[in-house]
Structure 1
Amino acid sequence: MTGAAGFLGGRLARTLLDRGELDGRSVDELVLLDVVAASAGEGDPRVRTVVGDVADPALLGETVDARTGVVFHLAAVVSGQAEAEFDLGMRINLDGSRLLLDACRAAGSVPRVVFTSSVAVYGGDLPDVVTDATPLTPQTSYGTQKACAELLLADHTRRGHVDGRVLRLPTVTVRPGKPNAAASGFASGIVREPLAGVTTVVPVPPEVRMWVLSPRYAVESLVAGAELAPGRLGGSRAINLPGVSVSVGEMAAALERVAGPEVAARVSWRRDPAVEAIAATWPGAWDTSRAEALGLRGDADFDAIVRAYMEDDLPHNL
């Protein structure tokens, strides 16, 4: 697993260790790769922690071997940082993905590779509802890097080097911890900070619409995506995951319904043109009928996402 020290990586690692198997095969060794040491499964003899750069071909060659059956590729420089630091985004998001696939090819084990892509592969003049077949039209460096990696994975799959599947994640919220450099970070901050007693500033107008998914269902989808039989995927290995289409104003209203007006009063609004320009490129709704037919699920509504965060990350408070 690349990006294993991130919050999704940590949750996915714990889920896999608790399950003890994936697609009928026991999890005998879980290799956690990141630039800092992953803490999930600390002390578990099944866990091997590797600290290093996902764009280091020598490290990848030592980490991916003939025993590798499944690869979860989560490592990425997030959207706002990839836009601000072009070379870094290209090296990690694109070169890192290419080198990882090269390592899988060299290992010869034809692993299943689950790649976390993003709504950012879409942008510009989009149809009212985006489908799995909507052409990729990214409007940011991050989206472009993710789209290129999708195409690389598809080609390696076509050539029989890997068994790839692309899961296009909605904006995952609510992320616990501190704000990160993602342009979509306000979608977590609008819930996380007010519940912590802190005022938050939303940098986009209330009518901006987003497609969002809770960490609970993001992890469930990653596991389910890895277990999908290749024959069920047909000619396209890319899947738009289920989620909730919601405006930012509706997010604030859901917070008030679930946590009360005192908490919701800590939400303030001040537009940031740079963030607003990126957010304007994201699709607000998409057709997930294919994902649902494959058994993938999303949250019922944004109220449920707020409750999930309160239950999973704030059990001592609320």
Structure 2
Amino acid sequence: MSDRASGGTSGTNGTSGTGATSGAAWGVGAWVVGIAALLVALPLAASGRLPERVATHWGGFSGPPDGSMPLWAAALFPALIWVVLALAVGIGARWTGAARGGWAAGALLSGGVLLAGAQASIVRANLDHEDWRQAESATGWVVVVLVAAASAALGGVLVGRRREAGPQEPAVDGPSMDIPSGERLVWLSRASNAWLQLIAAVAGLVAVAGGLAGLGGLMGSEWLFVAPFALASLLTLAFSSVRARVTGQGLEVAFGPLGRPVRRWAAEDIESAWVEERTAARVGGWGYRLSGLGTTVMLRGGECLVVRSKGKDFAVSVDDAERGAALLNSLGGRPTRP
């Protein structure tokens, strides 16, 4: 049995090509600039409660501090390291062509978490001490930061790998298609919304800033501030991109950079599939929307793949929706809609 793939190609307004790349670029830019700003702002915000020189190095696992820097240097030096790291990762990804392999995303995520967490730990250890030699041990917080950085690296690798597209070859156009005996057709299309990804990045940076301020001892009850922004960031990111796939088993729609959560419709449960023009104003906004038209995943206005299953409609705004609907209708000889 042979496989033949058909799928959405590069498009505009947040589709799998230019739009997805633009959204990723905005997210990376916001992350790099935001981490740099946090590294500088955190010690400066606490300058009134820090000594003129701050402890930056500790001898042994829990020994006393044995190295220090002026406050201005402690603020700028980590930011300089971060900028150099970000530039090196960007040049390396472009040079090797491996930007979608996951290592670049993992390096940027883990590096930012590591440097920002270390900066917050240093501020907390020096807080309210007159001399840097009196600074408390930062070992416990450093361990937590290392675990968080390792988790961020793993998440970055997984996100990068999810961005790799499968094979795409042209297939027959039209509202329905004949499936040759012994062949299995697969349709795949992706879409993303750069603005939703940017909003998710900004909300995430605000949550990170609040968490670092709490870690540095600059804010009490920080979780009351962090939790809403963290939740908003995760939810917005989860519904800022989508991947729709049609196989012999039916339709699968996966959300977010990790492809989770996932909604599935078995082929035998789909009553009909068609293409319909929808806009954000018509369905009530962007993202995952519920309206009188049913459920719509609205990432860009225009053609949407719509399926009806068990009397309920579900639509997703992806490119090449006509071929996806045609393949779904052909799986069981179902009727099409104009």
- Relative contact order (alpha carbons < 8 A, sep ≥ 6): 1 or 2 greater? 2
More helix by share: 2
Same fold (TM over 0.5): no
TM-score (norm 1): 0.22
More strand by share: 2
